[in-house]
Amino acid sequence: MMRILLFLATNAAVLVLISIVFQVFGIEGILAENGVDLNLQALLVLSAVIGFGGSFISLALSKFMAKRAMGVQVITQPRNDTERWLVETVRRQAQAAGIAMPEVGMFQSPQPNAFATGMRRNAALVAVSTGLLQNMSSDEVEAVLGHEVSHVANGDMVTMALLQGVVNTFVIFLSRIVGHVVDRVVFKTERGYGPAYYITSIIAQIVLGILASTIVMWFSRRREFRADQGGAALSARAKMIGALRALQRGQQPEDLPGEFAAFGISGGIGGGLKRLFLSHPPLEERIAALEANR
């Protein structure tokens, strides 16, 4: 599940790039009607184009970016028993979940982790870390694979892209309104847009984007419970609970480096306000949810 923060980071970068291109080429000029009044209808359309464009470009690049960023080696021809077992387990689970066989890969990391990504349910990638294979039993790894296959089968990445597109749209829409008000009311710009509009819009977009990300992260936490249930169905409830407990037993749980912190099966680490920005619920809550549904 290492895709979440990479998706968000790529989305943010694309969003900024599209916004800059629109400003450089003067496309945002359609937002000013007669040089004075803000054209809200045009603004909403433009915001949707930028917002959903950034989200779906990020989705289209998600598998390629994940492979490159994490150094995933796709198993095209199994070279040993471990690789054969991984491929066959994912094949069996994919058939049970009603999706096409995903690509299966491995990446070097001492931390137990796994992720699934891809633009379509039938063209996905499932990858595990070397640390996962070294620190978990085959039953626990099977449950983790089931969890990731469930993410694919549930269409979580497409749903995330749609949600992110809606969030992006309103972030851009509101930030441009803030910039317009500051430019017209505070700096008294009468025609066109002055520097205050662009500076204020960018600052507002960053602040609103951070606040809006809590909505995306809330959705992400909810879908983890669903993926846990899927992993339990594709392997066994005891195996899924065992996999989550194995993550709890780690000597010193660590996030993945830098921007990949929210990608792993155990999710980000933290409490308090930081919880609002975590992509995964605490492990103890996920275990309790599985145990409550015996």
Predicted local confidence at residue 184, as pLDDT: 84
The mean per-residue pLDDT over the stretch 47-59 comes to 86
Report the distance separating Cα 230 and Cα 64, nearest Å: 25
The mean per-residue pLDDT over the stretch 217-233 comes to 94
pLDDT tens-digit series, residues 234-268: 999 999 999 999 988 864 445 444 334 434 565 55
- CB neighbour list of residue 7: distance below 8 Å, 6 or more residues apart: 58, 59, 62, 117, 157, 160, 161, 164
Listed range (3-7, 53-57, 112-116, 130-134) with the worst mean pLDDT: 3-7
Q: Which of 9, 114, 122, 126 is nearest to 61 (CA)?
A: 9
Strand ranges for 41-81 from DSSP E: 73-74
- Residue of 28, 148, 190, 254 marked catalytic: 148
Fill in the amino acid letter for 291: E
Residue 8 scores a pLDDT above 60? no
Report the distance separating Cα 159 and Cα 141, nearest Å: 26
- CB neighbour list of residue 147: distance below 8 Å, 6 or more residues apart: 1, 114, 227, 228, 230, 231, 240, 243, 265
Predicted local confidence at residue 206, as pLDDT: 93
Tokens linked to 263: 């990608």
Predicted local confidence at residue 54, as pLDDT: 84
- Domain range enclosing 203: 3-292
Q: How confident is the model at residue 55 (pLDDT cuts 50, 70, 90)?
A: confident
Q: Which of 135, 280, 136, 137 is nearest to 221 (CA)?
A: 280
Q: Is 148 a catalytic residue?
A: yes
pLDDT tens-digit series, residues 87-136: 999 999 999 999 999 999 999 999 899 999 988 999 999 999 999 999 99
Report the distance separating Cα 176 and Cα 287, nearest Å: 43
Mean pLDDT of the chain: 83
Domain total in the chain: 1
Residue 192 and residue 35 in contact, taking contact as beta carbons nearer than 8 Å: yes
The mean per-residue pLDDT over the stretch 64-79 comes to 92
Q: How confident is the model at residue 283 (pLDDT cuts 50, 70, 90)?
A: very high
| φ/ψ of residue 115, rounded to 5 | -155, 160
Predicted local confidence at residue 3, as pLDDT: 46
